Amino acid sequence: MAEKLLVIEDIDIVKLYGINNVNYNFIVSQFPKLKIISRGEEIRVIGDDAEIERFENKLNIITEYLLRHGNLTESMLSDIFLKEESPENSSNINTNDIIVYGNNGRIIRSRTENQRKLVELYKQNDLLFAVGPAGSGKTYTAIALAVCALRNKEVRKIILTRPAVEAGERLGFLPGDFKEKLDPYLQPLYDALNDMIPPRKLQTYIEDGTVQIAPLAYMRGRTLDNAFVILDEAQNTTINQIKMFLTRMGCNAKFIVTGDVTQIDLPFKNDSGLLKIRRILADVKNIGFIDFDNSDIIRHPLVKTIINAFEKNEENKNNNKK
């Protein structure tokens, strides 16, 4: 049985431990084999040598992060403990996966192979198509790239758009004016931005046009210069709508198109432009295509199971028709 005394220096101990010691309790819970005793800036750790070393390495990551960003959240702690690194590199987060730091120092990073591919292809291409199932992080990763580009002054504005297609519901029966009727369709985009930009700053950006969120029809006739533009839910656009959108691209613009071809809400599914666009643009340079799949789904584990069940049901229906 080994024992080691660790001293926390240059760190606000209240921020490290969190309100009501919520952060400290979470950290301790990750090391059930250790006896951990804290007295202010001193932490005494008792247990196996290897576990003590792992604890010290993790604590170094946490304190370095707190020094850099001045804040620490449960979400950040979860990120640190989500991936168990090998002993030789456990003191380092893979910074190559980090896209942007969100609110309260939250790390927004690529979590799957295809999310990493999206980030890499973004560096090489001005136009990307990311297609795959719900929950695979297509739109979220794209928005993180957009926020990063805005912060780095690579672009002057972010424009997020969706086709206002009714998913089995009627807009006309919803209460409120036109904007209030459309906002539910655009809410997922607001949700992602709220993770990455402080609320007051986001409101300022929206008011001065730095961040624009609007239905696809509002893009007609515009030239989008110095902008990072994302078309979400592109499976619900016709080929003419996608053409209209893509031809909005101006100087120093980055475009990402995301969609899920299994969730087409158009009256005739074959009208979806997302089903046709790859064939049309297959030989055009500076365009990248990323196919997300069920292995990329990072929502509740049931989401992956549900999608698999629906795919199996669709296969059975198709087989019965033969």
Q: Distance from first CA to last CA of the chain, Å, rounded?
A: 68
**Residue type at 72?**
L
CA angle 215, 220, 226 (to 5 degrees): 90
CATH of 2-93, one of 3.40.390, 3.40.1000, 3.30.1370, 1.10.10: 3.30.1370
What is the average pLDDT across 106-130? 92
Contact 157, 210 (CB under 8 A): yes
The pLDDT-based confidence of 154 (bands split at 50, 70, 90) is very high
Q: What is the pLDDT of residue 86?
A: 32
Counted residue by residue, the chain has a size of 322
pLDDT at position 88 over 50: no
pLDDT one-digit tens code per residue, 19-56: 889 999 999 998 999 999 998 889 999 999 989 988 98
Contacts of residue 73, defined as CB under 8 A and 6 or more positions apart, other chains included, come to 104, 105, 106
What pTM did the predictor assign? 0.67
- What are the residues facing 3 on neighbouring strands? 46
* DSSP annotation string for 79-129: HHHHS---GGGTT---GGGEEEE-GGG-EEE--SHHHHHHHHHHHH-SEEE
* 277-283-285-288 Cα dihedral, nearest 10 degrees: 50
Q: What is the pLDDT of residue 116?
A: 94
**Residue type at 309?**
A
Q: What is the pLDDT of residue 92?
A: 47
16-20, 84-88, 164-168, 208-212: least confident range: 84-88
Going by the DSSP 8-state scheme, the letter that residue 153 receives in this structure is T
Q: What does the domain layout of the chain look like in residue ranges?
A: 2-93, 112-294
As a whole number of angstroms, the distance between CA 272 and CA 235 comes to 6
- What are the residues facing 289 on neighbouring strands? 129
Strand, coil or helix: what is 4? Answer: strand
As a whole number of angstroms, the distance between CA 54 and CA 31 comes to 9
Contacts of residue 256, defined as CB under 8 A and 6 or more positions apart, other chains included, come to 122, 127, 128, 129, 130, 142, 145, 146, 228, 229, 230, 231
DSSP H or E run through 46:
strand 42-47
- 234: tokens are 């592109």
Dihedrals φ, ψ of 221, to 5°? 85, -5
- 75: tokens are 């979400």
Identify the CATH homologous superfamily for domain 112-294: P-loop containing nucleotide triphosphate hydrolases (3.40.50.300)
- CA nearest to 150, candidates 96, 109, 209: 209
Contact 164, 213 (CB under 8 A): no
Residue, of 228 and 72, whose pLDDT is higher: 228
As a whole number of angstroms, the distance between CA 197 and CA 318 comes to 45
DSSP H or E run through 160:
strand 157-162
Strand, coil or helix: what is 134? Answer: coil
| Alpha carbon distances (Å) from 154 to 148, 208, 253 | 9, 18, 9
- Return mean pLDDT, the chain: 84
Contact 112, 293 (CB under 8 A): no
Give the position of tokens 């893009």: 219
Q: What is the pLDDT of residue 312?
A: 84
